[in-house]
């Protein structure tokens, strides 16, 4: 049976909805043996090839290609093979397309492939982000003598711009007329996008003037790209002028134009300016502005959330609900992320539960957003409850979920729990990625577990993890932090030749890694690496060696940034070399780096440590002259200097000055003043600052504990007792409060009944505290002859002692945690070895112990923290 070419094409198109049936028909009608083998009709061949490629029917596509290879070599056979290769490329099949192309070049060396095939391959290479392949294909075109067209140049320029090589793209653009290709609107658009991406929007604007020379006119896309670039660079005036220029040229700005401007303004932190545009789009119909779409609302919602304008965001969400723009999970996730970022975790949890009821099913990202927020606040129990909610909805935790939970436990220093999470993660088929491993590695170095960190590196090597620069920087930072600077320097030096294999200096299995010096992806030190190393050297006082490392990094073409200069300033200030620190400041300015508030804060900190108040004031005036805004730390250093210099009353007006400058004083600001005023015995003024702190910072536990400590230190035990009782009523923990010292001072001052009352209140409130707190009261009652009351307290002390030594007994945040004292002799066990005349208390304790048959006091067992067991059974 034979059909004409046009009939076969029609038959195939009618069956395009069923690629398998179309293929069977094509084989039957076009690939049947005939007296003189020849390629199938070109149009039919192109159509079936593309149909197979888009359906990812690779065996059939390879079968077709093999059939063509068996045909006699001819121009038509070459064209047919090229058609199959082009179809594979158009269908997004990179590897088969390259294979077919290589076969074509090999079988028909004297027959150059058609330009269409090159264009299809170039387009796919660009989409696959294979800049290396784009260059190879272009060079092959030139070798084969295939003349590129404008489309070819556009793809090449897009590839160059995408890899940050804008100058090379511009050279190629300028060559187009010389190659007989006139740039079109797309050519200009590619180059404009490249310039704007590099934050060079003014150069992109200059291209608009060249378009007329080639008979091109700027379109909306080009205008929108430049407008967005101007906004992103903070050139708001230029963006507004360009919008007006659009109108003059007869182009009406569309919603994309306004969305671009709003998005860029929000990213630049100019949320109120973005909101002005948004409001005009909603209300000002006379200007003929486009109405906001869902993207517009999402941009505005994200901007409010990022800027911390949570109430404005809430009002917008209510408006979106009324307009029907709050029905997409992506929009809900924006609001979830905003709530979490601004500490509204309870609201985020409620929104998560509400989404399903409103017909918007949360996805995995929704749950991960909330889990991440809870873990960052170390609310691990609540995070697990959200994971339970996720599993009930049929969504399984992924590697991101487990990594987030694992990071939460690592941030709390709970490595044994991280071990169990890793076990569960692997058992559920979610294998840790490099990011997970880096979190564990950082946690181990942070805790000083050097052997475990070394073992983790070895395990990562065994499991085939390719370490990145982050991994190397974590190790280098850990070595610096633990005083192993020589090893850190050795690794950095070795990385230039061996990449991550230089970690073999630690003595682990990385010693056996193959030298990857020829690998273009080799880990080499970056600016962060040198920042870590220089910081470690500066902290250790090795400032000359730090300077040598600075010269080394510059010799390696790694330019220092302002942070590097700040590290040197901090190092000099820490070691009292203020003149050298100021030389770094002036050198920094000469090199074109603008000092920041952080830079000046470091200098002020150094001057404060030397009590050079006049120099601090000069530096603050210099900041004002340079329009560098002070922050809360700047003021805190100044307050500290004034207070330590006996000038606390001169520091008092600084609180008001901070508020006038929109700088919110923190607990440290008020704490410095409270301490200084209490030391000066001006308790009325201290009390006023205390209430000011509560008004400004909120009812924070730290403020109460600070005031209570100062009252106790200054002999105001009764006032401290009253404040501590207020703290009880507010449900604060008591670990930061000087409850032991207060009770002891009350007993010394013949206020035994007050001390006993405070002790009973603590017991009645359910606090768990150091049993040694009972001793001064028991001693005082015994000396006073109140034997029965002393016995009752002794029994309560032993109950407290039994609870105190139970592992993991503190689970409720309402309980005070065990207070770590400077000396172990303050621990309650030390009363058995005291020799301070407390015979009555000692006898009572021994009598109670014998009566209960307790024997010796139990000691908690050490925990096993080897989390690497989780990998032992995995392949």
pLDDT band at 838 (very low <50, low <70, confident <90, very high): very low
Give the residue carrying structure tokens 């569960």: 424
Among 21-35, 302-316, 421-435, the range with the most confident prediction by mean pLDDT is 302-316
pLDDT surpasses 50 at 828: no
Question: How confident is the model at residue 638, as a pLDDT?
Answer: 92
Residue 812's domain spans which residues?
Answer: 699-875
Residue range 424-436: mean pLDDT, rounded: 81
Q: 660: burial class by Cβ within 10 Å (0-12, 13-18, 19+)?
A: exposed
pLDDT band at 582 (very low <50, low <70, confident <90, very high): very high
| Torsion sign over Cα 291, 294, 297, 299 | negative
Q: What percent of the chain has pLDDT over 90?
A: 18
pLDDT band at 537 (very low <50, low <70, confident <90, very high): very high
Residues 711/703, Cβ–Cβ less than 8 Å: no
pLDDT tens profile 651-686: 999 999 988 888 889 999 999 999 999 999 999 999
0.85 exceeded by pTM:
no
Residue bearing the bigger pLDDT, 503 or 224: 224
Across 373-382, 422-431, 623-632, 745-754, least confident range: 422-431
Question: How confident is the model at residue 859, as a pLDDT?
Answer: 32
CA distance 265 to 231: 6
pLDDT tens profile 189-209: 999 999 988 888 999 898 888
For the record, the structure tokens of 426 come out as: 């692997």
Question: How confident is the model at residue 172, as a pLDDT?
Answer: 86
**Considering the domain boundaries, does residue 462 fall inside one?**
no
Residue bearing the bigger pLDDT, 823 or 267: 267
Residue bearing the bigger pLDDT, 252 or 719: 719
Contacts 24+ apart (CB under 8 A), 262-265: 262/296, 262/299, 262/300, 262/303, 263/228, 263/231, 263/299, 264/228, 264/229, 264/230, 264/231, 264/232, 264/239, 265/231, 265/236, 265/303
pLDDT surpasses 50 at 127: yes
Of the residues 86, 114, 142, the one at which a domain ends: 114
Question: How confident is the model at residue 284, as a pLDDT?
Answer: 64
pLDDT band at 3 (very low <50, low <70, confident <90, very high): low
| Torsion sign over Cα 222, 226, 232, 236 | negative
Residue range 847-857: mean pLDDT, rounded: 35
**Considering the domain boundaries, does residue 61 fall inside one?**
yes
CA distance 714 to 22: 94
pLDDT tens profile 55-86: 888 888 888 888 888 788 788 888 888 888 88
Across 267-271, 672-676, 792-796, least confident range: 267-271
Q: Which residues of 577-609 are buried (b: 16+ CB within 10 A; e: fewer)?
A: bbebbbebbeebeeeebebeebbbbbbbbbbbb
Which of 568, 577, 578, 589 lies closest to 614 in space, CA to CA?
578
**Considering the domain boundaries, does residue 289 fall inside one?**
no
Of the residues 83, 114, 145, the one at which a domain ends: 114
Average pLDDT, the chain: 82
CB atoms within 10 A of CB 328: 12
pLDDT tens profile 521-531: 578 899 999 99
pLDDT band at 32 (very low <50, low <70, confident <90, very high): low
pLDDT band at 858 (very low <50, low <70, confident <90, very high): very low
Residues 352/370, Cβ–Cβ less than 8 Å: yes
Q: What is the CATH number of the domain that holds 735?
A: 1.25.40
CA distance 286 to 659: 42
Across 130-144, 497-511, 629-643, 794-808, least confident range: 497-511
pLDDT surpasses 90 at 300: yes
CA distance 43 to 529: 58
pLDDT surpasses 60 at 844: no
pLDDT band at 506 (very low <50, low <70, confident <90, very high): low
Q: What percent of the chain has pLDDT over 70?
A: 88
pLDDT tens profile 213-264: 888 888 888 888 888 888 878 787 888 888 888 888 888 888 888 888 888 7
By three-state DSSP, how is residue 715 classified?
A: coil
pLDDT band at 846 (very low <50, low <70, confident <90, very high): very low
Across 684-693, 757-766, 787-796, 829-838, least confident range: 829-838
**Considering the domain boundaries, does residue 81 fall inside one?**
yes
**Considering the domain boundaries, does residue 64 fall inside one?**
yes
**Considering the domain boundaries, does residue 483 fall inside one?**
no
By three-state DSSP, how is residue 808 classified?
A: coil
Residue range 424-440: mean pLDDT, rounded: 82
Residue bearing the bigger pLDDT, 423 or 477: 477
| Torsion sign over Cα 482, 487, 489, 495 | negative
Of the residues 114, 140, 175, the one at which a domain ends: 114
pLDDT surpasses 50 at 323: yes
**Considering the domain boundaries, does residue 783 fall inside one?**
yes
Question: How confident is the model at residue 286, as a pLDDT?
Answer: 63
**How many domains does one find in the chain?**
2
Question: How confident is the model at residue 287, as a pLDDT?
Answer: 64
**Considering the domain boundaries, does residue 850 fall inside one?**
yes
pLDDT surpasses 90 at 639: yes
Across 213-222, 488-497, 589-598, 865-874, least confident range: 865-874
CA distance 123 to 130: 10
């Amino acid at each position: 049976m034979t059909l004409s070419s046009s009939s076969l094409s029609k038959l195939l198109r009618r069956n395009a909805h069923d690629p398998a049936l179309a293929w069977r028909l094509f084989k039957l009608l076009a690939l049947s043996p005939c007296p003189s083998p020849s390629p199938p009709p070109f149009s039919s061949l192109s159509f079936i090839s593309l149909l197979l490629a888009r359906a990812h029917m690779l065996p059939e596509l390879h079968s077709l290609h093999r059939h063509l290879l068996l045909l006699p070599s001819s121009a038509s056979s070459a064209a047919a093979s090229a058609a199959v290769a082009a179809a594979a490329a158009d269908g997004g099949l990179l590897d088969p397309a390259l294979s077919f192309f290589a076969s074509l070049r090999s079988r028909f060396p004297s027959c150059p492939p058609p330009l269409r095939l090159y264009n299809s391959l170039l387009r796919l290479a660009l989409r696959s982000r294979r800049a290396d392949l784009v260059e190879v294909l272009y060079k092959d075109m030139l070798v084969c003598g295939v003349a590129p067209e404008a489309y070819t140049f556009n793809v090449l320029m897009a590839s160059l711009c995408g890899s940050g090589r804008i100058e090379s793209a511009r050279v190629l653009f300028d060559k187009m007329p010389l190659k007989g290709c006139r740039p079109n609107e797309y050519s200009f658009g590619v180059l404009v996008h490249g310039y704007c991406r590099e934050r060079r929007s003014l150069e992109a604007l200059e291209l608009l003037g060249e378009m007329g020379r080639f008979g091109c006119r700027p379109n909306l896309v080009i205008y929108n790209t430049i407008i967005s670039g101007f906004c992103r660079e903070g050139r708001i005036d230029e963006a507004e002028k360009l919008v007006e220029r659009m109108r003059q040229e007869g182009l009406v700005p569309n919603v994309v134009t306004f969305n671009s401007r709003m998005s860029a303004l929000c990213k630049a932190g100019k949320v109120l300016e973005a909101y002005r545009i948004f409001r005009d789009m909603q209300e000002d119909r006379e200007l003929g502005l486009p109405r906001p779409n869902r993207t517009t609302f999402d941009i505005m919602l994200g901007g409010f959330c990022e800027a911390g304008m949570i109430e404005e965001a809430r009002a917008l969400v209510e408006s979106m609900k009324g307009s029907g723009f709050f029905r997409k999970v992506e929009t809900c996730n924006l609001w979830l992320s905003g709530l979490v970022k601004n500490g509204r975790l309870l609201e985020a949890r409620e929104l998560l539960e509400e989404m399903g009821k409103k017909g918007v099913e949360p996805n995995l990202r929704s749950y991960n957003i909330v889990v991440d927020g809870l873990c960052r606040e170390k609310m691990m129990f609540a995070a697990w409850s959200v994971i339970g909610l996720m599993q009930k909805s049929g969504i399984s935790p992924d590697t991101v979920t487990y990594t987030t939970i694992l990071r939460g436990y690592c941030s709390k220093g709970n490595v044994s729990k991280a071990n169990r999470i890793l076990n569960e993660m692997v058992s559920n088929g979610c294998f840790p990625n490099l990011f997970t491993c880096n979190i564990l590695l950082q946690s181990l170095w942070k805790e000083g577990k050097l052997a475990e960190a070394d073992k983790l590196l070895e395990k990562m090597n065994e499991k085939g993890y390719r370490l990145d620069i982050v991994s190397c920087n974590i190790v280098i930072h850990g070595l610096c932090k633990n005083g192993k600077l020589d090893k850190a320097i050795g690794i950095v030096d070795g990385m230039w030749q061996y990449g991550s294999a230089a970690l073999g200096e630690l003595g682990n299995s990385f010693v056996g890694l193959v030298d990857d010096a020829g690998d273009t992806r080799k880990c080499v030190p970056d600016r962060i690496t040198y920042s870590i190393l220089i910081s470690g050297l500066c902290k250790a006082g090795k400032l000359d060696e730090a300077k040598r490392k600075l010269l080394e990094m510059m010799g390696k073409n790694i330019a220092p940034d302002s942070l590097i200069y700040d590290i040197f300033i901090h190092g000099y200030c820490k070691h009292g070399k203020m003149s050298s620190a100021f030389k770094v400041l002036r050198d920094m300015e000469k090199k074109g780096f603008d000092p920041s508030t952080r830079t000046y804060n470091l200098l002020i900190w150094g001057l404060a440590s030397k009590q050079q108040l006049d120099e601090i004031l000069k530096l603050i005036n210099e900041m004002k002259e340079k329009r560098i805004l002070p922050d809360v730390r700047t003021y805190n250093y100044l307050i500290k200097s004034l207070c330590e210099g006996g000038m606390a009353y001169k520091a008092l007006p600084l609180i008001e000055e901070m508020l006038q400058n929109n700088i919110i004083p923190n607990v440290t600001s008020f704490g410095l003043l409270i301490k200084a005023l209490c030391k000066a015995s001006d308790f009325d003024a201290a009390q006023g600052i205390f209430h000011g702190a509560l008004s400004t910072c909120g009812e924070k536990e730290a403020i109460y504990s600070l005031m209570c400590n100062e009252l106790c230190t200054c002999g105001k035990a009764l006032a401290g007792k009253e404040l501590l009782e207020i703290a009880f009523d507010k449900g604060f923990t008591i670990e930061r409060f000087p409850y032991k010292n207060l009770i002891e001072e009350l007993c010394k001052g013949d206020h035994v009944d007050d001390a006993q009352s405070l002790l009973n209140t603590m017991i009645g409130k359910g606090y768990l505290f150091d049993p040694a707190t009972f001793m001064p009261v028991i001693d005082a009652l015994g000396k006073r002859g109140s034997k029965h009351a002393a016995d009752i307290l002794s029994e309560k002390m032993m109950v407290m002692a039994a609870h105190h030594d139970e592992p993991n007994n503190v689970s409720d945040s309402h309980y005070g945690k065990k207070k770590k004292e400077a000396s172990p002799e303050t621990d309650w066990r030390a009363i058995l070895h005291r020799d301070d005349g407390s015979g009555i208390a000692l006898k009572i304790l021994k009598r109670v112990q014998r009566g209960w048959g307790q024997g010796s006091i139990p000691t908690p067992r050490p925990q096993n923290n080897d989390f690497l067991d989780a990998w032992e059974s995995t392949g």
